[in-house]
Amino acid sequence: MNFPLKVASNVEITNIFCLQPYLYRFNSFKQYMVNSLSKK
């Protein structure tokens, strides 16, 4: 009964670790866009 839940949580953790760099890059890019727009 607990096995699918364990696999799901492992997949979730893996997704978080895999997506972390992309999220960080996206956030920094968004910040860069906001900064460049506010400077004009």
Strand spans (E) along the chain:
none
- Separation CA 33–CA 29 (nearest Å): 6
CA dihedral 9, 11, 14, 20 (to 10 degrees): -90
Give the confidence band of 40 by pLDDT, cuts at 50, 70, 90: low
Q: What's the pLDDT at 11?
A: 80
| pLDDT tens digits, one per residue of 7-39 | 777 887 777 777 788 888 888 999 999 999 898
Residue 5: CB atoms within 10 Å = 9
Place of tokens 């866009």: 33
Whole-model pTM over 0.75: no
Give the confidence band of 1 by pLDDT, cuts at 50, 70, 90: low
